[in-house]
Amino acid sequence: MRQRKPAHPSAATARLLRAVAVALLVCVLAFDAQAQQRNPDQRMGRTVLDEASPHYRFESFAVDSPDGRRRWLVRVGIPTGKPPTDGFPAFWMLDGNAALMNFDRELLADLARNTTPVLVFVGYDNDLRIDSPARTRDYTFLADTREGSGDPGERIGGGADAFLDVIERRIRPQVAAHAPIDPRRQTLWAHSLGGLFVLHALYTRTGAFDTYAAGSPSLWWRGGAMLGESEQQFVAHNAGRQARVLLMLGGGERQRDTSNRDMNNPRVVEHLRRVSGAPPGAAAALAERLKQVPGLDVSYREFPGLGHGPMFRASLMATLHAVAGVTDRSQSPAPSAAP
């Protein structure tokens, strides 16, 4: 008796199945990121630091602030292969602990098959996934009133220039001492307030990096101040200096969903008021304006359905794809327990 061949799904059915799979993946990413965002005490857990790789070895060093009150921990992923004549490209990441949690053995192997950059994870001297107070201090270029504070004199943030000095004068020389770096091929990536910092670095330290990648930049900070004088001065004085700029946003960030927020909580209401300091389309509009600046190579990518939390991984993986040539993992979930 002849066996009947299984019927192949029609093209329409295949498209429907792919759409359902994508929708389910978006839900998984959103749920995972929401859980992480709502747990300020989440720890790193196991990462690629905890198992030897044939492609990378990891070293670390700490840097103290001049007054000795703050400490940054920098972890450096150094390719095991022979360095190019001009040195390795470098891929810098803020929120270094959280960024590490998105790497696994397969990604390291993929990097080794392509441009093989030195990986620079700039974080804080603890095992927190995200150190919110420290990053608010370091990643914002202007101080602002603390959320929920009735005292206008109670200020937070405003340390971006000091942190840029630490990166350029203290961290970068030590990274170069650990691995040969090509100064002409250096990328800076960061997310949220970190994305704001990336734009501030572009505006004030053009030439410090050749690629500036801002994921979901918090353009709302200080009433949208980044969209005012800072941008205008940069546009007027850039003088054709070249840089690549990658701007990314989640499509879900354009519609601020408050259905799962406690609107009876004054801090929640205050935060939502603050993030309305920039319109939902501000990042896309900024990209269009920067495209007109001589010397800049600007691209904008929006991720349908993704909210602010999932954009951390999506923008990091998309930037690695764009800069290092690895497979685009921006739609894949983070390793559950790397390696």
Q: Residues with catalytic annotation?
A: 192, 253, 308
Which residue, among 172, 246, 179, has the nearest Cα to 208 in the 3D structure? 172
Half-sphere exposure at residue 142, Cβ-oriented, CA atoms within 13 angstroms: 15
The H-or-E segment that residue 119 falls in is strand 118-124
Question: Which string of b and e fits 199-232 if b means at least 16 CB within 10 Å?
Answer: bbbbbebbebbbbbbbbbbbbbbbeebbbeebbe
Nearest Cα to 312, choosing from 187, 195, 139, 140?
A: 195
CA angle 21, 24, 27 (to 5 degrees): 150
Contacts of 29 (CB under 8 A, 6+ apart): 306, 310, 313, 314, 333
Q: Which residues pair with 244 in a beta bridge?
A: 211, 297
Q: Nearest CA to 317 among 305, 301, 337?
A: 301
**Can you tell me the distance from the alpha carbon of 83 to that of 328, in angstroms, rounded to the nearest whole number?**
25
Segment holding 17, helix H or strand E = helix 11-37
CA distances from 254 to 216, 307, 318 (A): 11, 9, 19
Distance CA 135, CA 151 (A): 22
Closest Cα partner for 89 from 319, 299, 312?
Answer: 319
Q: Which residues contact 61 (CB under 8 A, 6 or more apart)?
A: 73, 74, 76, 174, 178
Cα–Cα distances in Å, from 146 out to 40, 83, 152, 267, 272?
17, 46, 8, 10, 14
